[in-house]
Every structure is written in structure tokens, then in C-alpha cells.
Amino acid sequence: MGRSGFGRVLAAALAGLLAACTAAPPAPPPPPPPDPAAACLLGLDQRHLVYDRLKDWHTPEGCGIEAAVRVKRSAFEWNRPALMSCLLATRLADFETAVVQPAAERLFGHHVRKMTNVGSYDCRNIRGTHAERMSEHARGLAIDLTGFELDDGSAVSVRRDWHGNGPKSQFLHQVAKGACQYFSVVITPNGNALHQDHFHLDLGPHKYCRD
């Protein structure tokens, strides 16, 4: 190879080396997809709920909970902890802040300090109409509320105060109506005989609001 040929080869090699040195680095791998459960739990922390994170589970019957939590208190004290999905806990906290507390302030001039419930998770079918369907309680996506306690010690009971014209009845009706903005299904004592003492709230696929 002549000197000029060798020079051309050397120049080509140097050009290739320089090109390799100046080439853009490879693109970083895409970030992992977000974890819905982690994002939901972060939302609970931001809303200052007190809860225990539990292991998710599923049963052969179709029961079980995704992003399972046991809520001890939310915006209010609770009369008892309730086992439910993180999604339901989030929706309850928003409902309490946006609907329940403002209604109490308007009608009573007091704050709600406690919310009473008779449970959330229950591995069973719907009772009454559509008994062939699995209840949203079986997925931790439903809760039954029986009443509220105000910061002056007075109590508001679904069983005792739903029917009537006084401020307690007005409060319960306003709360039930507002619940329809946050839950798929809202069943009150107007719904059927099975709900004479509580509100049923759930996040299932079906829509029904009977305030």
C-alpha cells in the first residue's frame, strides 16, 4: 500500500473513531409503569388517614380486595375500623370533606367528629334484588354508614332521624344527595326495607342513587 493509500485508511479510521466518540449516548430505558396501589396509598397519606396496609387476597368465590387497607380514622373518628380497598377509603375521605362536613356546618353550626359504620368487607352476594350478583362488599368497595356524631356530643342516626323535617333529617338527606357525586350506588331508607338503618355506598359498575 502506498503512502497516500495508507493515509486515506488512517484518516478513515480516525474519522470513525471521532464519530463513535461524539455519537449520542443510548436512550435510557423507559420508566417502569406507575404502581396504582402505591399512588392510592400516597393519596391516603396526603389526606391524613390513619390505616394499616394489608396483603391483597382473592378467594375462589370471587371475593377479595385490591390495595387492601384497614381504616381506623379519616377526616373523622370512626366507631370501628373497617377493611376496604384503598379506592373506597380515598373516596370516603373526599366525601367527608366536601359533603358531610359542610352540611353539618350549614345546618348545625358544628363539625362532625365521628362517623359510625357497620362494616365494609363481607364475602357475600347482594341481599334482596339481584341476589345473583356478588356484592361490592365482597370486593371491599362498599360501606354501610349508620350515623354521625357532632362536636357538641349530639348524634345523628339514619334509623331515627331520616324521616322528618328537622335539621337532622335535612342533614341526612343532603349527605345522601351529595354522596351520589362520589359513589356509584347510594341506597338510603327510601330504597328498601333492608336499608332502614343505614346508607349503603359503593363503587361498583352499576349506577343507582336513591336519596
* Residue-wise burial string across 170-207, b where 16 or more C-beta atoms lie within 10 A, e elsewhere: ebbbbbbebbbebbbbbbbbebeeebeebbbbbbbeee
All residues at 6 or more sequence positions from 144 whose CB lies less than 8 Å from its CB, including other chains: 117, 118, 119, 120, 198, 199, 200, 201
Eight-state DSSP code of residue 134:
B
Per the confidence metrics, is the pTM higher than 0.75? yes
What is the pLDDT, as a whole number, of residue 12? 56
Q: What is the mean pLDDT of each run of 10 residues along the chain (211 residues)?
A: 55 55 66 84 97 96 96 96 98 98 98 97 87 92 98 97 95 98 96 92 91 64
The structural domains of the chain, with segments of one domain joined by +, span 36-210
CATH number of 36-210: 3.30.1380
CB-based contact 85:137 (threshold 8 Å): no
pLDDT of residue 94: 98
Where would I find the beta strands (DSSP E) of the chain? 50-53, 57-58, 64-65, 68-73, 77-85, 112-117, 142-150, 155-157, 185-187, 199-202, 208-210
